[in-house]
């Protein structure tokens, strides 16, 4: 992997329901390349909305977002950005239930100019890295919650992202399994130097990050 991407958010606003619900109201912050940032705040405060904007799953109403020196509004291809620069990890893994672990990890690599042999080799290697070599032929329904999240993390790394966006990655896990997933994310960040932005309401998870941003009332109210 080619190291992390700097993220700069400047005066970003986003509203829903015809402007009646203002999720973000001029948010600004900077994340240095390779940092692990926890984004905290009460439910409904706009944390996931912010992740979706940085991941180009949605567009802001105003303001600018720059990732790796590239303003997102000037990108010619949103899908290419999501496939090549960003990896996504969600609270509920969103694995394809009819595909086994090694097949799920290959999904983001489809159409990425890799041969089948190259896709399979990379998927095997990533599953080994997250400690699941012995479960790579297992369907999601036969995996534990922690194992499914590990497969999801391996899938997020498939195209060597410079930025990993994790939305409550430990939210559906018990404290022990959640701690293992956090240790895995931190270890992968240290190994590859990628930037990590993690939404969490778990104080222990937030404590694992380099810094914490607290989002309230549509603004970053505190950093630590």
Q: Which residue has the higher pLDDT, 146 or 213?
A: 213
pLDDT over 80 (residue 83): yes
pLDDT over 60 (residue 2): no
pLDDT over 80 (residue 53): yes
Domains, the chain, with CATH or none: 1-85+161-170+194-224 (3.40.50.300)
190 is written with which tokens? 């240290």
Q: Where do we find the tokens 């240790």? A: 183
Q: What is the pLDDT of residue 222?
A: 64
C-alpha closest to that of 169 among 104, 94, 96, 90: 90
200-223 b/e (C-beta count within 10 Å ≥ 16 → b): bbbeebbebbeebbbbeebbbeee
Taking the C-alpha atoms of residue 212 and residue 111, their distance in angstroms, rounded to an integer, is: 36
């Amino acid at each position: 992997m080619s190291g992390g991407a700097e993220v700069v958010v400047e005066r970003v606003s986003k509203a829903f329901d015809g402007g009646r619900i203002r999720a973000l109201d001029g948010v600004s912050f900077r994340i240095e390349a390779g940092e692990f940032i926890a984004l905290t705040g009460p439910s409904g405060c706009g944390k996931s909305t912010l992740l979706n904007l940085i991941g180009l799953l949605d567009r802001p109403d105003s303001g600018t977002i720059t990732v790796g020196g590239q303003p997102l509004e000037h990108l010619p291809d949103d899908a290419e950005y999501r496939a090549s620069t960003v990896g996504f990890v969600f609270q509920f893994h969103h694995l394809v239930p009819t595909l086994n672990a090694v097949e799920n990890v290959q999904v983001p690599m489809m159409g990425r100019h890799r041969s089948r042999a190259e896709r399979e080799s990379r998927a095997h290697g990533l599953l080994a890295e997250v400690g699941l070599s012995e479960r790579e032929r297992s369907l999601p329904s036969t995996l534990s919650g922690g194992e499914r999240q590990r497969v999801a993390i391996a899938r997020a790394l498939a195209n060597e992202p410079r930025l990993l966006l994790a939305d409550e990655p430990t939210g559906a896990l018990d404290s022990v399994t959640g701690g293992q997933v956090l240790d895995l994310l931190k270890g992968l960040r240290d190994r590859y130097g990628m930037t990590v932005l993690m939404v969490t309401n778990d104080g222990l998870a937030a404590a694992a990050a380099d810094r914490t941003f607290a989002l309230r009332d549509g603004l970053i109210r505190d950093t630590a």
